[in-house]
């Protein structure tokens, strides 16, 4: 079933490949070894012949061709004769070292390794092939005694060989060093593992059982990325996973970027461009001529000259996602839209403070006729004028705004009345002044929403939410985020006489409308949803098959009973977040589900005794 011969061949050829990558040829080694063996035999014969004459002189012809060490080995006996040859061999060795040091491969390796100390080691390692073979004689590097080399002979600190005695002593030292290393690792083990599990839970990558083989491979690859010279022709999805992993470890720089750029690709995702220069970004356009979708996060050096270069190319971007590119000027943004806007389907701009403003948004109508997705996140420049201009983008399907300037609700109402019917995504993050008129506009105009996000409103009321969800002609939502829509009053935090924010009735209404379709629901910080509402919604006969993730942190009324009911009513739930739900104490979590943020988790201490509080 399993042929040993074949395995052996395979291994041999793998070794040959490896050596070839270091400019070492197996054939050459064999020739060298043969020559050495012949030389050793001759030497022995010579010694026998000349033993009577008491003068052991090797014939010059028997001198090994490449190796320097055998010459040194016989130094003791033939000092005078060999001194010139020794010098010659030394020169040769120096030459070989220089050659290795100058080689491209070595430079590449060195970059990954770092100091000069390491490169001495590397040179030694590459020169090691000139050591004598088992069966030959050699002088010990430390004590100078002559001994027979065996397969178990150890290497000395300077690359020579050691006699049995010295080798054993060195081994002792090594063993002691190893023990120290091991002890260090053990202390990080269990804690590191627990920490990793917690980290995975928060990352949302926690699963029971082993990681997928692909994940394992990609992690190994990311760890050893400085050894990689070319990733070959990998599918785009895998490239993307590698890109994510590299960025996560902050390993994306000029060199690793070149590994990720494939000339035939249509997508380039730079998840962390903090270490890239303008030239690196330009290189993306140079190496990937068919680029259609570009994503750049932390693109600090994504500057005017990068866009200039892009405009000089025949690249028609369909999706453009840029994060943190604050050095792009407003005039360049306009120029870019005028030149390349017609092909643009998706434009997402994150974390800009000055140069992406109302004027740029007003240009979109005339320059981007096919724009379906627009996202402006954490922007300090856009005001109501810019938002009003969005209403003219008839092709828009997905709209996300997260602005720092306050915009009057009437502007949003106006936009919704114009483009509301075709919107599939509406995300209005941090609209403190947004009120019920926006909810009513959504109720009246939106008919195809799938994803809705309205957060941080301090004006919307429970009645408003009830009006939105009651008899809404829009099909059930899949994604709903109403976090922090609640009343804020430091003096009377518990009282909410006006029913501000999402409260019990709004919660009931939203579940009645979208409960069957919702996969993701976030009511983080909606403090005034009563326990009765939770218990009713997640009652024994209610089942919500679609629900995958539920975020109910800082909903004060959530108890163990509610959390248990949620697990019962949502059989496909993967994650339940209950940060700050102080009444959740001891819930039985079904296998494979994740409960995050329990206040009495290890590492978090609750003061006082539970019973005394009552």
Partner 1 sequence: MADSKYITLVSRDGFEFVVLREAALVSPTIKGMLRSQFIEARTGRCCFAEIDGVILEKVVDYFHYWYRNRDKEEVPDMEIPVELCLELLMAANYLNLEPATGLRDWT
Tokens of 33: 């070894």
Q: How far apart are CA 460 and CA 441, in angstroms?
A: 13
Bridge partners of 348, per DSSP, are 321, 375
Q: How far apart are CA 264 and CA 235, in angstroms?
A: 11
Place of tokens 């430091």: 490
Instruction: Give min distance, CB of 236 to partner 1, in A.
Output: 11
> Which residues of the chain form contacts with partner 1 (CB under 8 A)?
1-3, 6-7, 10, 14, 18, 193-194, 197, 204-205, 207-221, 224, 227-228, 231-232, 234-235, 238, 241, 478-479, 519-520, 548-549, 574-575
Bridge partners of 399, per DSSP, are 374, 426
Please say whether the beta carbons of 457 and 486 come within 8 A. no
Nearest to 452 by CA among 512, 520, 527: 520
Bridge partners of 137, per DSSP, are 148
Q: How far apart are CA 81 and CA 324, in angstroms?
A: 72
Choice between 31 and 202, CB closer to partner 1: 202
Burial 557-580 (b: 16+ CB within 10 A, else e): bbbeebbbbbbebbeebebbbbeb
Tokens of 317: 């971007």
Instruction: Give min distance, CB of 372 to partner 1, in A.
Output: 16
Choice between 402 and 459, CB closer to partner 1: 402
CA 261 to chain centre: 16
Other beta carbons within 10 angstroms of residue 249's beta carbon come to 13
Choice between 115 and 203, CB closer to partner 1: 203
Please say whether the beta carbons of 573 and 552 come within 8 A. no
Instruction: Give min distance, CB of 547 to partner 1, in A.
Output: 10
Choice between 281 and 350, CB closer to partner 1: 350
Instruction: Give min distance, CB of 351 to partner 1, in A.
Output: 20
Q: How far apart are CA 260 and CA 246, in angstroms?
A: 10
Instruction: Give min distance, CB of 110 to partner 1, in A.
Output: 18
- Please, where are the H alpha helices in 550-594? 560-569
Choice between 205 and 417, CB closer to partner 1: 205
Tokens of 482: 């109403």
Instruction: Give min distance, CB of 187 to partner 1, in A.
Output: 17
Choice between 127 and 217, CB closer to partner 1: 217
Q: How far apart are CA 428 and CA 377, in angstroms?
A: 10
Instruction: Give min distance, CB of 514 to partner 1, in A.
Output: 13
Instruction: Give min distance, CB of 225 to partner 1, in A.
Output: 10
Choice between 224 and 338, CB closer to partner 1: 224
Nearest to 311 by CA among 326, 329, 330, 332: 332
Choice between 2 and 27, CB closer to partner 1: 2
Q: How far apart are CA 421 and CA 399, in angstroms?
A: 12
Instruction: Give min distance, CB of 210 to partner 1, in A.
Output: 4
Nearest to 228 by CA among 257, 250, 249: 257
Instruction: Give min distance, CB of 214 to partner 1, in A.
Output: 4
Instruction: Give min distance, CB of 478 to partner 1, in A.
Output: 7
Bridge partners of 376, per DSSP, are 349, 401
Choice between 216 and 606, CB closer to partner 1: 216
Q: How far is CA 319 from CA 322, 342, 374, in A?
A: 10, 11, 10
Other beta carbons within 10 angstroms of residue 155's beta carbon come to 16
Choice between 70 and 515, CB closer to partner 1: 515
Choice between 56 and 217, CB closer to partner 1: 217
228 Cβ contact list (under 8 Å, min separation 6): 221, 259
Choice between 179 and 194, CB closer to partner 1: 194
Instruction: Give min distance, CB of 20 to partner 1, in A.
Output: 13
């Amino acid at each position: 079933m399993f042929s040993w011969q074949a395995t052996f061949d395979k291994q041999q050829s793998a070794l040959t490949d490896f050596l070839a990558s270091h400019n070492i040829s197996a054939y050459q080694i064999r020739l060298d070894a043969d020559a050495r063996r012949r030389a050793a035999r001759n030497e022995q014969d010579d010694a026998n012949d000349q033993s009577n004459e008491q003068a052991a002189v090797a014939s010059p012809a028997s001198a090994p061709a490449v190796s320097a060490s055998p010459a040194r080995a016989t130094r003791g006996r033939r000092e005078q004769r060999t001194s010139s040859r020794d010098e010659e061999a030394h020169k040769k060795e120096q030459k070989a070292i220089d050659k290795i040091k100058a080689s491209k491969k070595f430079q590449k390796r060195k970059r990954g390794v770092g100091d000069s100390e390491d490169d001495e080691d590397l040179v030694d390692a590459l020169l090691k092939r000139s050591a004598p073979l088992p069966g030959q004689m050699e002088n010990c590097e430390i004590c100078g005694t002559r001994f027979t080399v065996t397969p178990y002979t150890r290497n000395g600190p300077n690359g020579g060989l050691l006699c049995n005695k010295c080798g054993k002593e060195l081994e002792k030292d090594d063993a002691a060093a190893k023990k120290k290393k091991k002890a260090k690792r053990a202390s990080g083990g269990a804690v590191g593992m627990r920490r990793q599990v917690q980290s995975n839970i928060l990352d949302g990558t926690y699963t029971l059982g082993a990681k997928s083989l692909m994940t394992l491979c990609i992690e190994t690859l990311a760890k050893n990325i400085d050894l990689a010279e070319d990733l070959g022709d990998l599918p785009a999805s895998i490239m993307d996973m590698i890109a994510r992993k590299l960025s996560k470890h902050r390993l994306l720089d000029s060199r690793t970027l070149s590994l990720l750029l494939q000339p035939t690709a249509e997508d380039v995702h730079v998840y962390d461009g903090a270490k890239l220069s303008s030239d690196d970004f330009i290189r993306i356009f140079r190496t990937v001529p068919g680029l259609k979708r570009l994503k750049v996060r932390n693109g600090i050096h994504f500057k005017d000259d990068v866009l200039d270069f892009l405009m000089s190319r025949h690249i028609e971007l369909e999706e453009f996602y840029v994060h943190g590119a604050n050095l792009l000027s407003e005039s360049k943004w306009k120029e870019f839209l005028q030149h390349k806007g017609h092909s643009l389907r998706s434009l997402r701009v994150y974390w800009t403070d000055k140069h992406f403003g109302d004027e740029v948004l007003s240009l979109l109508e005339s320059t981007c006729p096919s724009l379906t997705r627009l996202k402006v996140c954490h922007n300090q420049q856009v005001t109501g004028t810019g938002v009003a201009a969005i209403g003219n983008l008839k092709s828009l399907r997905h709209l996300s705004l997260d602005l720092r300037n306050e915009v009057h609700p009437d502007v949003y109402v106006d936009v919704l009345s114009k483009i509301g019917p075709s919107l599939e995504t509406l995300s209005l993050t941090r609209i403190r002044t947004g009120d019920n008129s926006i909810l009513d506009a959504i109720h009246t105009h939106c008919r195809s929403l799938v994803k809705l996000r309205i957060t941080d409103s301090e004006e919307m009321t429970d009645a408003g939410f009830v009006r939105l969800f009651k008899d809404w002609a829009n099909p059930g939502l899949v994604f709903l985020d109403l976090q922090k829509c609640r009343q804020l009053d430091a003096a009377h935090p518990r009282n909410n006489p006006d029913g501000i924010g999402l409260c019990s009735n709004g919660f009931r209404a939203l579940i009645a409308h979208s409960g069957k379709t919702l996969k993701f629901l976030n009511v983080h910080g909606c403090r005034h949803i009563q326990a009765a509402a939770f218990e009713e919604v997640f009652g024994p006969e209610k089942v919500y098959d679609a629900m995958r993730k539920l975020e109910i942190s800082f909903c004060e009324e959530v108890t163990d009973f509610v959390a248990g009911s949620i697990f019962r009513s949502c059989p496909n739930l993967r994650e339940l977040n209950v940060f700050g739900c102080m009444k959740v104490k001891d819930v039985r979590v079904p296998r494979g589900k994740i409960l995050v943020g329990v206040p009495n988790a290890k590492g978090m201490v609750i003061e006082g005794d539970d019973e005394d509080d009552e």
